[in-house]
Structure 1
Amino acid sequence: MSESAKPVVWGVLGVARIATEKVVPGMLGASNVEVRGIASRDLDKARKAAAALGLAKAYGSYEELLADPEIEAVYNPLPNHLHVPWTIKAMDAGKHVLCEKPIALTAEEAEALVEARGRTGRLVAEAFMVRHHPQWLRAREIARSGEIGELRSVNVLFNYNNTDPANIRNRADIGGGALYDIGCYAVAAARYFFAEEPRSVVALIDRDPAMKTDRLTSGLAEFGGGRQLVFSVSTQTSLYQRVQVLGDRGRVEIQVPFNPVPARASTLVVDDGRDVYGSGVRIEEFPPCDQYGLQGAAFSRAVRGEEALAFPLEDAIANMRVIDALFRSARGGAWETV
């Protein structure tokens, strides 16, 4: 078997639920991926996770996994404040890294990964799995085709209700809160469809009085030419998510944009806007697929040199610059330049 045909051997840093319940199960279905092992600071937890997932190895520390010469690529789902330091440690150990979003807590922190990439020659990318799902690829294709006219607005709603103070998403000291956890998707969505960077942003944040995390964040981003991102994300409202891409002659709606169930078909609404009752709507359906598996397969192809990363490290840093500006705006109560 040629080197390019061999599956990339992966290791996982930590037993986070996103890893054990979504990402790793999805990656196990990709033909060019072999998830070899999983690490935890608690060896018993690592062994239980490895057994449940059918993985060959369990490691009692992150360092032990990084020292394993068989591991070629690492998935990093650690808490947000550990993304950059452990990604750099993995790169220094000779591993390519797929790091969960947000890739850092600030764009300045993320810049350290550029130096590490240059020093080590390892690949690093941010894990926005949605951009690999066929419904997103098709929505962008329609938006760019001119079918819905000139793009004007990307509207994003993404909400869930989690008030557990022990949950990492609710710990302000390690990068919890709505903007880091799910607002990053809204920013990435607008940049994905407009294929440009926003010029300025404004944000309004409501913080939980006890946990101090942003529990409801809404904002605007101005892309020039009358184009805008309009978004609202919350960790303490009713479960809901939608992405609307609006042109001057129609719209595209991704109905379950962020958490489609792999076993269910996905649907895209395309509306020519003839009336508000949906007379001009058509539905496009996509067979069941696992976006985490597609993401892992794409990164593995890049590791083997079969294709370039569609969204390299520079894209992740650009996304963080927008998030930085949104936080500055909320603090200052004014528009901020990105």
Structure 2
Amino acid sequence: MGQTVNWGILSTAKIGREKVIPAMQKGAVSRVLGIASRDQASAQKTADALGIPRAYGSYEALLADPEIHAIYNPLPNHLHVPWSIRALDAGKHVLCEKPIALDTKEAETLLAARDRTGLIVAEAFMVRYAPWWQRVRALVQEGRLGRVSAIQTAFSYFLDDPQNIRNMPEIGGGGLMDIGCYAIATARYIWGSEPQRAAALIERDPTMGTDRLTSALVQFPEGHLTFTCSTQLVPHQRVTVIGTKARVEVLIPFNPPTDVPVQILLDDGRALGGAQALVEEFGPADQYTLQGDAVSRAILGDGKLEFPLEDAIANMRVIEAIFRAGDKGTWEAP
């Protein structure tokens, strides 16, 4: 394998074309060698546009290439586990888009395949590789905020196209699976613990059936995560981590532009409205590049994967608890 991991991309999905592939191509130990589509012309068109050396007219052809070491799976949610298992059985490591599966039971079949093959499977929560998120976690761990007992998250966009996969509940569409999962993952990341129970309100689109507005209260040993996510509100995202001494606010927490600095605000509350807040700025960085290289290094044996597949399954348990809580109107434990 040498000192570089050759990646193959399963499908010409938009997130891959526009975000992940260009980022991974900048990596120090990641090389995008090939891309597959169910149509050779589509694969070739994307390969030509992005400067990818190999194009395959089927996913099977990519998996059969012995020079592909690992695959990135950005397929629709219902295809995450089936094709990730096929990749493992073909001897390829896997970086799979979030959420890792449609439910915990399905995710556990992927875990069994990982254990059977001994290969690496990682869920693509790129935010945990971003320097601003690592700084937020460090501030909490160092006690700079005092005792942190509240995290508030908002994440929304507007998308009402019934033909979009994010609006198809039968294949894992809806707000909680698509973006609410970030609120859960980042709270677990900051506190380093698992939640105890959750309550939720869920509003579903009357035509499409997806959860278009979900608000949850999630109890952790350390405190409360409250979040709202929506697929039918104005685009917005913000995270505030609140302690007894100070709070930190992440201004564009999940997908900031890669060509401008990212800011977080550290505010001790001396002036309401944050007028005295300290601004910490992080130079432009692409969290997808950082993610790709982190997984590549784990594949190369240079360090351990910090967030193994078990972490993805733990996140899925919380998602399921929130769905149950919203449907039943009761507190639910993961």
Kindly report which structure 2 residues correspond to 1:21-40, keeping only aligned pairs within 5 A, or say none: 21-40=18-37
Give the corresponding residue for 1:157.
Answer: 154
Give the corresponding residue for 1:278.
Answer: 274
Structure-1 separation of matches of 2:193 and 2:138: 16
Structure-2 separation of matches of 1:332 and 1:75: 36
Give the corresponding residue for 1:173.
Answer: 170
Cα displacement string for residues 112-165 of structure 1 (whole angstroms, at most 9, x for unaligned residues): 122111111110010000110111001111111111100111111000001111
Cα displacement string for residues 258-312 of structure 1 (whole angstroms, at most 9, x for unaligned residues): 1111111100111111231324310000010111000000000000000101101
Letter in 1 for 2:297: R
Cα displacement string for residues 84-120 of structure 1 (whole angstroms, at most 9, x for unaligned residues): 1110000000000000000011111111122111111
Give the corresponding residue for 1:63.
Answer: 60
In the alignment, is residue 142 of structure 1 matched against residue 139 of structure 2?
yes
Structure-1 separation of matches of 2:44 and 2:178: 28
- TM-score, structure 1 as length reference: 0.97
Give the corresponding residue for 1:126.
Answer: 123
In the alignment, is residue 256 of structure 1 matched against residue 252 of structure 2?
yes
Corresponding residue to 1:10 among 7, 11, 24: 7
Give the corresponding residue for 2:262.
Answer: 266
Structure-2 separation of matches of 1:273 and 1:193: 21
Cα displacement string for residues 44-68 of structure 1 (whole angstroms, at most 9, x for unaligned residues): 1111110111000111111110011
Cα displacement string for residues 241-265 of structure 1 (whole angstroms, at most 9, x for unaligned residues): 0011111111011100111111111
1:42 Cα deviation after fit: 1.2
Contact kept? 1:266, 1:285, Cα under 8 Å: yes
Contact kept? 2:195, 2:218, Cα under 8 Å: yes
Cα displacement string for residues 222-254 of structure 1 (whole angstroms, at most 9, x for unaligned residues): 0135x0110000000001000111111110111
Kindly report which structure 2 residues correspond to 1:214-293, keeping only aligned pairs within 5 A, or say none: 214-225=211-222, 227-293=223-289
Task: Structure 2: state its 5+ residue gaps.
Answer: none
Q: Aligned Cα RMSD in Å? A: 0.9
Contact kept? 1:205, 1:218, Cα under 8 Å: yes
Task: Structure 1: state its 5+ residue gaps.
Answer: none
Give the corresponding residue for 2:89.
Answer: 92
1:213 Cα deviation after fit: 0.5
Give the corresponding residue for 1:309.
Answer: 305
Give the corresponding residue for 2:191.
Answer: 194
Structure-1 separation of matches of 2:192 and 2:167: 32
Contact kept? 1:143, 1:252, Cα under 8 Å: no
1:189 Cα deviation after fit: 1.0
Letter in 2 for 1:18: I
Cα displacement string for residues 9-38 of structure 1 (whole angstroms, at most 9, x for unaligned residues): 000001110000000010000010110011
Give the corresponding residue for 2:38.
Answer: 41
Contact kept? 1:114, 1:313, Cα under 8 Å: yes
Identity %: 56
Letter in 2 for 1:243: V
Letter in 2 for 1:238: V
